[in-house]
Every structure is written in structure tokens, then in C-alpha cells.
Structure 1
Amino acid sequence: MTWKSDIEGAMALIAPHVLRTPVLTHAGLGLPYPVELKLEQVQHSGSFKARGAFNTLLSKPVPASGLVAASGGNHGAAVAYAAAQLGHRARIYVPEIAGPAKISLIRDQGADLVVVPGAYANALEMAKEYEVETGAMQIHAYDAPETVQGQGTVLLEWEEQGLQADTVLIAVGGGGLIGGALAWLQGRRKVVAVEPASARTLNAALETGPDTEVEVSGIAANSLGARKIGRICHGLAVQHGVQSVLVSDQAIATAQRTLWTAARQLVEPAGATALAALQSGAYTPQPGEKVAVLVCGGNIAPDPFQAG
């Protein structure tokens, strides 16, 4: 697969439909060095996932039966948003753990929403059944080439904006975002995978193989709660020797608060997970090593402006 040209092609396709998200370098995050931040939480639908959704919808014909997706929340919101913008029907399956804020966000986009008891895997099973029954096009949250290509545009765009870092820290759920980053960077910068200790999907797969399934829980589970890593991500992570680190829920909550108090960035737990690795010492840069953090999502629960 020609990742570089594919990601460049994805950027050309989606550019009219997504935001070019801001970057900043911040020296006040409780660390003895500045950190470059890419603020993908301000992307349409509140996360980077709009990129993969638009790339998928613009890359292939959509059947009359529309689209179907399973999601912990952010992917569903992105698919619902992209479908509405491009005039397609969408059925979204989400697990109960998605939470009221993300469920409301998806519903507000006009999608046909089904809330499923259990976890993401249960929602994915029902989405696959709907795909077979109706012929709707399945948009996988992370393990499809078009999705990974779309997410890879984050790093393409960041480099165009002048990324200086030697090392980029990225939170991992199913692996679409970090897979896209690895596909674009091709080893030119170090990439560190950061996961909650209670949802160590990639970490476990790097130890025992891509078919490893883990139990997931914790404050970031509705974004980083895939029980099995995507094969595309796993292959790229092995190829490029990704370093995998784990952080606690407490460390994630601390980083989430820091992003608000120090930088006035309101993010969900997943969006703070990569920074938590630096603050907690799960990853310690070498002297002179320049680091960057990808802030991936802002769909915080509960919605701070929701009445009642």
C-alpha cells in the first residue's frame, strides 16, 4: 500500500469538509519543557474521526440503504455528521457506556441511533447484522484503509503547520489514529502509543499477538475501549517499533484538568491521555528531546452547558 500518496489523496478529498485544527506550543503544563499540542478536539463533531468518515464516504459509492457504523461515541458522531453533510442515511449503534453526552451528539446529527447493552463489541456485532440485512455500507471505526488514510491527514497537516517534535505521543483505542500517524510518518519521528492501564489493547497485542482481546474499563473506555486492536495498526506498530506505555485513570484525570486550568482546553479523558504519559512519567523524554501531544477528542461528559 502506498500510504504517502493515499494520505495525500485523502487530504485533497476531505479538505473542503474538515477543519484545519490549530496547534500551539505550551510551556505551562506542569512539565520542565514545552510541549507542542495539536488540538483535534475542535474538529467537526469533536474529534479527529471526521477525517476518516469523510474520506470513506468520498472514496466509494454509498448504496441507497445508506451507512451503518458501530461506535463508542466519537466515530458515530463523525459518521452521523459526515452523512448529514453529504446527504446520506446513517444507522449508528453505540454501547450504553458511550454516555449521554455522546449519545445526544449523535442523535442531534440526525442519524438513526440504536443504543446497545454492553460494550463496543456488542454494538459492532449488531452493526454487522444490519449491514448483512440491508446492504448498508459499514464504516469501520478504525480498521479499514480509508479510515486510517483519513486519520493520517492529521500528521500530514501538522507537519505542514511546522511540527518540530522528535517524538509524538498519541492515545490509542482501536488504532485508527496512531495507525494513520505511523503510515504518514514512516519512521521519520518517534511515535509513542499511550493507553489507559484499564484498556491496554495495543500494549497486550504487542506482547501476545494481534488476535489478543482484553477487558476494558475506566474513565476513557467510551473512546479508548476497543477490546481488540486493528490489524492495520498492529502491523504498522510492529513495523515501526512503537513504544507502548500505560497510564492510570488518575493520571488521565489530572492531565484533563491541567489542559483546562493551564491552557483553557476542555477535553474528554481520551483527549488528555497522551499528555498523562508525560505528566505521570510513563514516558520521560531524553535531554533535549522535543515532544508533541495529539489532543484527540473534546466530547466531555457530562456536557458542561447542558441544562439541569
Structure 2
Amino acid sequence: MDWQGEIAAARSRIRGHARVTPVARLTLGGHDIEVKLEQMQLTGSFKARGAFNTLLSVDVPAAGVVAASGGNHGAAVGFAAAALGHPAHIFVPEVAGPAKIAVIERSGATCHVVPGLYADALEAARAHEAETGAMQVHAYDAVPTVAGQGTCFAEWDAQGLEADTVLVAVGGGGLIAGALAHWAGRRKVVAVEPRLSRALHAALEAGEPVDVPVSGVGANALGAKRIGSIAFELARGMEAVVVEDAAILEAQRVLWQEARQLVEPAGACALAGLLSGAYRPAPGERVAVLVCGANPAPDPLG
């Protein structure tokens, strides 16, 4: 796969549709780091990049698009579909919660709430696809999605990223796959997962993607039952750490109290890897953190 070519094409394709998000040098929890504030992306997460790249790279059928989502992907697909004039049906599990469901409904999509977890929403979305002919937009395990997420890291390089190591949160794997596809060994990428939603860790231990139980504070954004195959292939041999829910909530608090950045738990997961000591930089190692989601529940201003 020519990932560099795919990501370059995606950057050109989504220009003018997705937002260029800012970077900042911050001291958080006593660590001097560079941070990319991707939670300021349209709909509040990096997902808009993959959604726009997917819809702009194909002929969308008259039946429109369908997606399963824990919340952020659905909001992004709904927003991109509305912007491009396509109908969208989004299937979300109950665990998504009212705040993220409201974001999806504001996007203009038709939102269907499904009992259970993400896997149940995905099954319902696939049934809708088979019945109507709508195009499925996968949340993480598709080349256009991964290439779209990869634009975040190409953009960061263009903004002058100097770090040796970048910490990235992992759910289903679209975002970490984008980072690994873009940097391909040219920069160290560290995966950070919640201990209660550890699909990548389980796959790396088993030597193949496997199902895991999902729970915890980040489950509605990082709660994939199984890591995507693209992410797994790109992640072989990479360094990955896990963090406790308490560490994620502490990182969320630090981002608000020390930088006035309001994020959801999943958005603070990568920072939790650093603040908790799950990842310990070597002396002189320059570390950067991607902040990836800004749709907390409940929405304090909703």
C-alpha cells in the first residue's frame, strides 16, 4: 500500500472541508510537551477527516451513507454527508449517551439508537446497508478512513512538529493506523489504550485481532470490540501502553485546569499515558500528544 500517496491525495481532497487544527507548546502536569488540539476539528474529533475523504473519493449512491458509531464517527459522517448533499443514517449503541447522540442529530443525519455496544450498532448498520443499498462508512478499518486520519499527522509535520515521540489514543485503530502509515518508522508513535478497552493490546499479545470486553470511561469513543486489521498490520512491534480510568479522568482534569481545554475522556487518553507514567520518556526525549475528542457527556453547555 502506498500510504504516503493515499495520505497526500486525502490532504488535497479534504482541503477546504476539514479544519486545520492548532498546535501549542504547553506545560501539563509538569511535562513540557507539544500538543495538537485536534478536538477543535469539525464535530469535535479527528473523525471528520476520514469521513470527508471517504465521501469525496467515491460516487455515493442515491440511498446515501450509513455508519455505526460510538458517537464521534457518526457525527462526522452525518456532518460530511450533509455538507456534500447526501442522506445519512447513523446507528449508535446506547452507551454513546445523550450528548453524542445530540451531536449526531444536529449534524442532519437520521440517528438510530441500538441496545448494546458498538458491535450491535455495526450489525444494525450492515443490515441497513443490505436492505437499502446505502454505502457503509466504516469507523476505522478502511483505507480512505485511515488515509483521512493520516492527514492529521501530515498536517502536524507541516506545522513544524519537532518531537521524537507522539502519543496517540487507540480505540478501533483508525487514528493510530493513520499515524503509523504517515510516519512509517520516521518518528516514534506510542499507542495508549484504556485498560478496560484494550483491543490493540489483546491483538498484539495474541498475534492476531481478537474480541475483548469493553467498558470504562472511554468506552463510547475507544470501545471497539476488536482492533481493525489495517491498524493491526501497521502496529506489529510498536510500543503500546495501557492506562487506568482514574488516570484518564485526571488527564481530562489537567487539560481543563491547566490549559482550559474541555475534552471527553477519550480525548485525554493519550495524555494520561504520559502523566500517569505508563510511558516514561528517556532523558532529553521530546514528546508530543494528540488530543483527539471534545464531546464530553454530559455536554456542559448543551
Q: TM-score with structure 2 length normalisation?
A: 0.99
Q: Report the more deviating stretch, 136-145 or 208-217.
A: 208-217
Is 1:182 aligned to 2:160, yes or no? Answer: no
Contact 2:202–2:209 (Cα < 8 Å) also in 1: no
What is the deviation of 1:209? 2.9
Q: Give unpaired runs (5+ residues) of structure 1.
A: none
- Unmatched tracts of structure 2, length 5 or more: none
Identity %, equivalent residues: 64
**Match for 1:7: what amino acid?**
I
Across the two proteins, how many residue pairs are aligned to each other?
Answer: 302
Residue 290 of structure 1 is matched in structure 2 by 286
Q: Which residue of 2 aligns with 1:146?
A: 144
CA RMSD of aligned residues (A): 0.6
Could you say which residue in structure 1 is the equivalent of 2:254? 258
Cα shift at 1:249: 0.4
What is the letter of the counterpart of residue 30 of structure 1? G
The residue type paired with residue 87 of structure 1 is: G
Q: Name the aligned partner's letter for residue 3 of structure 1.
A: W
Question: Aligned pair 1:275/2:274, yes or no?
Answer: no
Query: Any idea what SS the aligned residue of 1:115 has?
Result: strand
| Structure 1 residue 210 displacement after superposition | 2.7
Query: Structure 2: how far apart are the matches of 1:60 and 1:76?
Result: 19
Aligned-partner Cα distance in 2 for 1:190–1:228: 24
What amino acid is the match of 1:13? R
Query: Equivalent residue of 1:82, what SS?
Result: helix
Partner of 1:246: 242
- The alignment status of 1:25 with 2:25, answered yes or no, reads yes
Moved more, 3-12 or 206-215: 206-215
Whole-Å Cα distance in 2 between the matches of residues 236 and 186 of structure 1? 9
Over residues 8-46 of structure 1, what are the superposed CA-to-partner deviations in whole Å (9 max), with x where a residue is unaligned? 00000001101100000112x112x41110001010000
Moved over 4 A (4+): none
1:170-209 paired onto structure 2 within 5 Å: 170-209=168-207
Aligned equivalents of 1:103, 1:147: Cα separation in 2: 21
Q: Is the 8 A contact 1:210 1:229 kept in 2?
A: no
**Alignment partner of 1:272: what SS?**
helix
1:214-246: CA deviations, max 9, x gaps?
Answer: 0010000000000100000000001xx211100
The DSSP-based 3-state class of the residue aligned with 1:151 is helix
**What is the match of residue 214 of structure 1?**
212
SS in 2 for 1:118: coil
Quote the offset at 1:108 in angstroms. 1.0
Q: CA deviation at 1:305?
A: 1.0
Give 2:100's aligned residue: 102
Compute the displacement of 1:251 (Å): 0.2
**What CA distance in whole angstroms lies between the structure 1 residues aligned with 2:2 and 2:274?**
33
TM-score (normalizing by structure 1): 0.97
Letter in 2 for 1:263: A
Please give the alpha-carbon distance, in whole angstroms, between the structure 2 residues aligned to 1:158 and 1:279: 22
Note the alpha carbon deviations across 1:273-308, whole angstroms, 9 max, x for none: 0000111100000000000000000001111113xx
Cα offset, 1:4, TM superposition: 0.3
What is the alpha-carbon distance in structure 2 between the residues aligned to residue 252 and residue 44 of structure 1? 23
Distance 1:267 1:280 in 2: 18
